[in-house]
Structure 1
Amino acid sequence: MGLIGILFGLALLVWFAYRGWSVLLLAPAAALLAAAFAGEPLLAHWTQTFMGSAAQFLAQFFPIFLMGALFGKLMEDTGSVTMIARWLTVCLGTERALLAVVLAGAVVTYGGVSLFVAFFVLAPMAEALFRVAAIPRRLMPAALALGTSTFTMSALPGTPAIQNAIPMPFFGTTPFAAPGLGVIAAAIMLGFGLWWLQRASAVARRRGEGFGDDTPVPVDAAADDPLVRERATTAQAFDPAEIHHAEPTPVPPHFLLAALPLVVVVAVNLLMSFVVLPRLDTAFLAEPRWGATSLAAVGGVWSVAVALAAAIVVLLLVSGYRLPSVRQSMDAGANAAVLPALSVAGLVGFGAVVAALPAFAVVREWVLGIDGGPLVSLAIATNVLSALTGSASGGLTIALDALGPTYMRLAAEHGIDPALMHRVAVIGAGTLDSLPHNGAVVTLLAVCGSTHAKSYFDIVMVAIVSALLALVAVIVLGSLFGSF
């Protein structure tokens, strides 16, 4: 009965979340349902297991949610994201419209701008480019997904995406874990994705298919859509409802000033990870008053949070005077972090209750018994959980909360570098999370004015197939040569 309860609770969570119900309600309800089937104490699981795990997730990662959402909102309101996209468009021209859209998304998201801010800002640019280049509107979501939701989220070393931060406390790694393998994975995703988009565009051109519907992209309608909001907040770290709260500047900065904060994010993240933190005396962290932890457990989160905070300061110094209301923009950015953080924490709480049930031992043994060794089983576990929850961050945290210590033990037994486990886990979480019910997919289609029927197959090719190819390559290379 316990295993049936786990499956039934998970089915309840997936089904109602897909229909737009709030995860804040669904996650505890599904967790308590699973506990009831197992005959476990319900109130104890709710207040101790569920809330304890959700609170621990917030304690670890809310600084990154907060700094990331605030940075993204300020980059949008100062016109910095728009200026970067415009500069790339001018440099590459309409004849390279696909490449311009992909690179614009990659540059801003690798520099720390929230995925959803990038969607809402870049969609109008992509529409203008695609219309002039006679590229079908239906390819817009795939092009934006490739640039914002694939290699800059899970593969490129140092990316400040929350998905790249989640494994750090479990494996004691930095944001730059397995940099060589990450770069190879990123090249595979980008190369395959661009090849597919160019192929699809060429096929459409031979058929005489132009841009299609001239209706402007419904950015404002998507931002105000409650269904989009409910699904989106479990998939990324920005609440779409805040995207138009606060007034943007009418005069964007020069390209160099617009790009400077992105450079600061990468540079400070690198310095914190390899220069500043390793030189600090952090023995005090072992004391109970600091949670009896270690630098390995918190250093990665510190690096990303400080990098984003430094970029916010630089952004305010060089472009803050352009904002009609700094307070309104900062309030909106801070508010945009809350619902996504609580939603993902709810998924984590659900996973903690399931992992605490006696029947979960069957699931654990099945996962760990998968042929291919720890890397393969870790990849499958993060893939499956991210697919079911429709959230790379939620699925990744559930998997590592339940199995992280076990994988660390297996890594030691098999001589596997934790950095390799980190990179496999992050790329694995960023593959099947892009199923139709994923919040990022739903938001992207709404922003671009397209549908699953028209655009989803191309999203599958650039966001799922390319990531799976990269994941296989990382596992094979890591198994042969170790982490590098």
Structure 2
Amino acid sequence: MGILAIGVSLALLMFLAYRGITVLLLAPLMAALAVVLSGELALLLPYYTETFMPALGGYVLSFLPVFLLGALFGQLMADSGAAYTLSRWILRVIGQRHAVLVIVVACALLTYGGVSLFVVAFAIYPIAKDLFRSANIPKRLIPAAIALGSFTFTMTAMPGTPAIQNAIPIPYFGTNAFAAPGLGLIGSAIILLGGLWWLHTRVAAARAAGEGFGEHRVAELEESSALQPADAQATREMPVFLALLPLVLVVAVNAVFTFAVFPSMDWSFLTPSYPAFNPSGRVGLWALIIALTVACATLMLVRLGHWTDLKASVNKGVFGFMLPLFNTASEVGYGAVIASLAGFLVIRDAVLNLAPGNPLISEAIAMNVLSGITGSSSGGLSIALQALGADYLAMAEAAGISPDLLHRVAVMAAGGMDTLPHCGAIITLLAICKLTHRQSYLNIAAVTMLFPLLALVAVIVLGTLFGSF
């Protein structure tokens, strides 16, 4: 009954999330359903106050600054005109003839620099629409091009990426954002080159069939009527070097503190105040927080006198972090309740024993399954690490596997099956592009699942043979 209860709860969570019900409400309700179906009705309220809420609160305490600063930075990049400037600059450099490559590179540069994938989708879509129309490429391929640049290698594989997915394993494994950089670069190349090959074959097939951009007049009228005054400031250009500077700072400052400043420090001065302090589980997050803070401050300063309403941009960015943070934290609370049920012990043992000699395989499967169920890479990763992170670390240490390799495999695995049709990011992207699942989802699935999974297999094989590098 315990396993059945968990299965029913997970199935309903996935189905109702796909139907558009917020995870903030679904997570505690589905956790309560699992408890009731497991025959532990008397423990329902204790599970909520002693398990669900502490897990939710602990996640918020750990990751609130990363979510907040990431959302603020993305908003500042959009409202300053930096995102628009960079996308136009990439268009001029690469050329209109390579429309797909322009969009993928523009999205990749912005997301690797720390701009939220949702902000990138809003900022790049108008440029992509004009570019694809000029090149007579089907509009239905725009979501896949944006997804390849935003939802894949810059989110999970590129070393140093400030994406929240890359930050989540840090306190569990004592790693940093640059974990297994060589393997991450190899995985990124597989995803990027495979995705570009797929999109170019789709463009060629469309041209051979005589398919052009298509008729989308109704959707474009809706886009024009929905245009807000704030969009005008987001489409102003600025000097390219100033638009690039904040992105460079995010990666560079993160690297300096990760590899130079923090490793050279003696943390013994913290012992009197924080006797249980473990720097290995914190300095990776600290480096990311400092990098995002420096980038936000720099962007505000270099654009002084050019902001339409800096206060409004800051407020919008700060307010924008709350829903993603609490959605993910609520899923973590759900995962904590599930992990504490008796039926989960059977599931945990089965997952951990999938490949007893190589925990990377078990980890990859667990992250993929949970990310697919929740429709969220960060949500699935958080649930899995909350329940199994300590087990995987112990197994890795026993097998002589580096925590850095464990980190990279976990993050890349979370970015495999997360983009199933009920994924919130996919639903939002299609809404932005005024397209449907039927029109665009097959190509989105190819670039966000097929090639990321191939890259994950390659990283596991190389990591098993040669270790972390």
Q: Considering only aligned residues, what root-mean-square deviation do their CA atoms show, in Å?
A: 1.9
Q: Is the 8 A contact 2:85 2:236 kept in 1?
A: no
SS at 1:248 equivalent: helix
Question: Of residues 464, 472, 477 in structure 1, which corresponds to 2:457?
Answer: 472
The residue number in structure 2 matching 1:332 is 316
SS at 2:321 equivalent: helix
Cα pair distance change 1:86/1:245, threshold 3 Å: closer
Cα pair distance change 1:38/1:59, threshold 3 Å: same
What is the aligned-residue identity percentage? 50
Q: Is the 8 A contact 2:361 2:460 kept in 1?
A: yes
The residue number in structure 2 matching 1:73 is 75
Q: Is the 8 A contact 1:151 1:186 kept in 2?
A: yes
The residue number in structure 1 matching 2:254 is 269
The residue number in structure 2 matching 1:345 is 329
The residue number in structure 2 matching 1:163 is 165
The residue number in structure 1 matching 2:415 is 430
- The one-letter code of the counterpart of 2:20 is G
The residue number in structure 1 matching 2:63 is 61
Give 1:427 deviation, angstroms: 0.3
Cα pair distance change 1:216/1:309, threshold 3 Å: farther
How far, CA to CA, are the matches of 1:141 and 1:263 in structure 2?
26
Query: Is residue 9 from structure 1 mapped to residue 27 from structure 2 by the alignment?
Result: no
Cα pair distance change 1:427/1:301, threshold 3 Å: same
The residue number in structure 2 matching 1:451 is 436
The residue number in structure 1 matching 2:345 is 361
Q: Is the 8 A contact 2:365 2:413 kept in 1?
A: yes
The residue number in structure 2 matching 1:283 is 268
| Structure 2 counterparts to residues 73-472 of structure 1, below 5 A | 73-215=75-217, 248=233, 251-284=236-269, 290=274, 292-371=276-355, 373-472=358-457
How far, CA to CA, are the matches of 1:461 and 1:11 in structure 2?
24
- The one-letter code of the counterpart of 1:207 is A
Give 1:246 deviation, angstroms: 8.9
How far, CA to CA, are the matches of 2:453 and 2:186 in structure 1?
13
Q: Is the 8 A contact 2:138 2:211 kept in 1?
A: yes
- The one-letter code of the counterpart of 1:410 is M
How far, CA to CA, are the matches of 1:124 and 1:216 in structure 2?
16
Q: Which runs of 5+ in 1 are unaligned?
A: 225-242
How far, CA to CA, are the matches of 1:403 and 1:244 in structure 2?
47
- The one-letter code of the counterpart of 1:9 is S
Q: Is the 8 A contact 1:101 1:122 kept in 2?
A: yes
SS at 2:130 equivalent: helix
Give 1:163 deviation, angstroms: 0.2
Give the TM-score, by structure 1 length: 0.93
Give 1:23 deviation, angstroms: 1.0
How far, CA to CA, are the matches of 2:439 and 2:234 in structure 1?
35
Cα pair distance change 1:247/1:69, threshold 3 Å: farther
Q: Is the 8 A contact 1:49 1:349 kept in 2?
A: yes
Q: Which runs of 5+ in 2 are unaligned?
A: none
- The one-letter code of the counterpart of 1:307 is A
Deviates more, 1:15-24 or 1:307-316: 15-24
Cα pair distance change 1:217/1:395, threshold 3 Å: same
How far, CA to CA, are the matches of 1:220 and 1:315 in structure 2?
32
How far, CA to CA, are the matches of 1:423 and 1:268 in structure 2?
21
- The one-letter code of the counterpart of 1:89 is L
Give 1:161 deviation, angstroms: 0.1
SS at 2:282 equivalent: helix
How far, CA to CA, are the matches of 1:249 and 1:461 in structure 2?
31
